[in-house]
Amino acid sequence: MLKKLLPPTLLTLTTALTLGAIPAAHASQAAPAASSAAPVSDSRVSTAFTLPGGKVYPEGIATDPRDHTVYVGSYADGTVYRARPGQRTAEVFLPAGADGRHTANGLRIDARGRLWVTDSTSGVAVYDTASRRRLAHFEVAGAGGLFVNDLAITPDGTAYLTDSVRSVIYRVTPAQLAAGSGALLPAYDLNGHLTPSPAGSFTLNGIVSDPAGRFLLAVDMTAGDLHRIDLRTGSISRVALQGGDLTHADGMDLAPDGTLRVAHNTTNTLTRWHVSPDGTRARLTRTITDPSLQIPTTLSHGPGRTLVVRSQFDKGGPMGPGTPTAFTIASVRGL
């Protein structure tokens, strides 16, 4: 187990890697490939609510569809915040370091209203949102580098989690969840399928499931590729992208109608794609680039708006020196 607080050098390294292989000093020069859906500045970016604290550096977000409560995780110390509908300032839901948690980057709410929270340094924990009690936890087996990043949950209740260092996808089945604990073991190894990247690059990041639970889509943020994992056959293929790529892509949201929304962190960009019903093709339909997104790491789409995490990693955080403004979640209309 790592110490409660990561050494500063390691914290800087891991966060720089999770934002991709391009150094922060040059990040503003990179953007999704030019297309007919040209980048535009969108004036419909506003603030949904504020996160209390001076060094929050948020990364993950999840919305409970039952009551529209929003949960946000802090990469800096593992705090999980909660914002109920109408609240302008979120409250602490799970305090920093609870249950030995170092980070809170990937968040999801499952069909039974349980909150899943990944800790990049170890694995994933599952919480009852009513009692705040931890129901289960799973840790990566084996020694060596790891970075448990994001997760998706299929209709049958199975969770799939990306590892940005090992380039694998872990799996937690409903039976394992009922057992309460266990080892996170790779279900799919994508090392032989990824475009070669510079040494030290982060690869797999955001991951989503199609509504029918037939396949997963996982992004390689450094190569800009999207990979399809067939959950029936286990086959892994590359999605044909039309009109752009997914360089610097972080969190993703896939709607039932095949609309894929993506946050590209260091370029302050959001993209919208139309995914074919079989998940083999995706066409870029909209691009929003706006500096007020403040290094967006992920998003959660709901009726009439998309909530976007403003990480501010480049303002006194692990991406560079500076002083952050208040940490907030953006509301974006028209994505």
Q: How confident is the model at residue 320 (pLDDT cuts 50, 70, 90)?
A: confident
Cα 325 to Cα 23, 61, 132: the distances in Å are 23, 19, 29
List of residues 6+ apart from 252 with CB closer than 8 A: 206, 207, 208, 217, 219, 260, 261, 262, 263, 298, 299
pLDDT in tens, 67-109: 999 999 999 999 999 999 999 999 999 999 999 999 999 999 9
* 3-class DSSP assignment, residue 26: helix
Counting Cα atoms < 13 Å in the Cβ hemisphere of 115 gives 28
pLDDT in tens, 156-207: 999 999 999 999 999 999 999 999 999 999 999 999 999 999 988 999 999 9
